[in-house]
Amino acid sequence: MTPAAFRKAALALPDVVEGSHHGHADFRLHGRVVASLHPDGEQAMVKVPLPRQQELVAALGAACVPASGAWGRAGCTMLRLAAIDAAVVRDALQAAWEFGAVAPPVAKKSKSPVAPRRRR
């Protein structure tokens, strides 16, 4: 799996759009990140339910690890693209899409001006 193939597979999912944060591409469903490409081009992330994350880690060994810290505990799972079959990556992306689809859409932030603070 290449970064270009990952991007194509992510964007093939219904209503997924490409965005960017922290200097790398992400893929969002209704405002929520469901996957991203690491800037190194060797890794990608999918956000899947924890049981699915555990299945992926058990099946793929070192090619698949939970992201560090709270991100990993929330289902963010790092994939070494060159070490994983394209069908497995597409299945993981589908799981991420389904996981993102059950969450309510992210509300748009208001662009209204903030009232100035009063000095004490």
Domain ranges, ordered by start, for the chain: 3-101
Q: Is the pLDDT of residue 41 over 80?
A: yes
pLDDT tens for residues 77-120? Answer: 999 999 999 999 999 999 999 999 887 666 665 554 554 555 55
DSSP 8-state symbol, 47: E
- Pick from 26-30, 72-76, 92-96, 107-111: least confident: 107-111
Residue 75: the pLDDT is 96
**Angle, CA 18 vertex, CA 114 and CA 39 arms, to 5°:** 95
Residue 120: the pLDDT is 54
pTM of the prediction? 0.84
Domain 3-101, what fold? Aspartate Aminotransferase, domain 1 (3.90.1150)
CA distance 1 to 5: 6
Residue 103: the pLDDT is 73
Are the C-beta atoms of residues 45 and 78 closer than 8 Å to each other? yes
